[in-house]
Every structure is written in C-alpha cells, then in structure tokens.
Structure 1
C-alpha cells in the first residue's frame, strides 16, 4: 500500500466521527441535584458528557492537523502547523483558567463549585468544537 492509501484507511473512521456535526449528550437535568449524596449521579453525568465532548474535540483537532499536514506537504508552508498547535495549547489553558475562577468564585459550596466548573468546561468545549468545524 502506498503512503496515501494507508493514511486514507486510517483516517476513514476519524472522518466519520469528525463529519458528524452534532453529538448526542446525556440529559443531566433529570438527575440535577446539589444534595451531597444525590449530586454524585449528576456530577457523573456531567463528567460523561465532558468526556464525550473531549473525544469529539480531539477528532476535530486530529482532522485539522492532518489537513494542515497535507497543505504543508503540498505547498511547503511550514508556518501554519506551529501556530495551530500553539493555539490549541493556549485554548486549553484559557478554558482551564476560565472555569477555575468560576469554581473558586462558587466556593465554599464544593458541589455547586464543581457543577459550575463542569458546565463551564462543557460550554467552552462546545464553542471550540464549533470553531474547529468552520472551513479554513
């Protein structure tokens, strides 16, 4: 197999995931609770949604990096890849700091603080996925 066909075979599942514009998240509102015992189910539900969003985000990042790698090979433009990789790192830092201050603001109620952090994370992941889906 040639290099291109091997790449194609490996990226077909990735393309299928990345091309689906919407992902289905669990509806956590039915288990929403701030009671210390009952909140565990709610927080686990939010965590599973965050995991799903992160996987979806990573598939879009992988697609972008692959596409830019092809552009780099075809055009010789080596400026794109470092900028894109840096923007991904900076976005992760921004998201973590943005949600961290919301967590700290909501303390001393640790359950509400945790939920605020998770909802913030979900919101920023959705926005980042939306940005990654825009055509170049």
Structure 2
C-alpha cells in the first residue's frame, strides 16, 4: 500500500511540474497585436494557442486536486470535500465563460476586437484559476 502511494505521489509531482512548465511557455502574442480584421488573424491564433495551453495546465491541476481529495477521503472518511470541489469547478467554468462573454458583447459590432477581448479575458481568468488551484489546502 505504501509503495503504491509513493508511486502515486511521484506521478502527481510529475504532473504538477509539467503543468508549471506549460504556464512558463506561453507565447508572447503582443508583437502580433492588431485589431484590423485582415491582420488580426495571427494574433488571434496565438491567443488561441495560449488558451489551449492554459486549459491543459488547468486540467492537470484539477486532476491533481481530485486525486488529493480522494486520498483525503480514503484516509479520513470525509466524503464532503470532493462534491464541493467538483461543484466549484463547474461554477468556475461558468464564471469564466460569462465574465468574458459580457466583455465580448460589449465590443460588438466590431467582431475582431470583441474576439480579442474575449480571448485575453479567458487567458487572464485561466491564469488566475490555475494560481488558485496551486495554493495549498
């Protein structure tokens, strides 16, 4: 049993290390910044790449937290933590989406500018959520 826990924790550390690496390799998209529809394509593609990278990192941290909560439940018998944590993930997803969506709608009818604002908002929100997920509990 103890050997299994050591292997498990080693895999968690590896996941956490790779998640940290993903945040560090976000591309600097600002040199491509442009709101003109014909020139903004590369900027938007760069922002999309960063969003994908952050979402992957976030999923890694969420998985780690779920596994930690399962271990706590096995060790202590406290079965209340995981459902609350799961609910917080769902609510955080909705918060990120709604918070960025109203910013998008505020910029309409300029769809290019609205898309850029939305993507930058999502990047900022994902970074904040990842930082929160990293905090010790």
1:58–1:34: structure 2 CA closer, same or farther, 3 Å change rule?
same
1:65 paired residue number: 66
The answer to which of 2-11 and 37-46 deviates more is 2-11
TM-score between the two structures when normalised by the length of structure 2: 0.89
TM-score between the two structures when normalised by the length of structure 1: 0.90
Task: Return 5+ residue gaps in structure 1 as ranges.
Answer: none
Could you tell me how far 1:24 is from its partner in structure 2? 2.2
Where do 1:74-93 residues align within 5 Å?
74-93=75-94
Contact 2:29 2:46 in 1 (8 A): yes
Q: How large is the Cα RMSD of the aligned pairs? A: 2.1
Alpha-carbon distance between aligned partners in 2 of 1:90 and 1:7, rounded to the nearest angstrom: 28
Task: Count how many residue pairs are aligned between Structure 1 and Structure 2.
Answer: 136
Asked if 1:122 corresponds to 2:123, the answer is yes
Could you tell me how far 1:21 is from its partner in structure 2? 9.1
Task: Return 5+ residue gaps in structure 2 as ranges.
Answer: none
2:104 paired residue number: 103
Moved over 3 A (4+): 1-13, 18-22
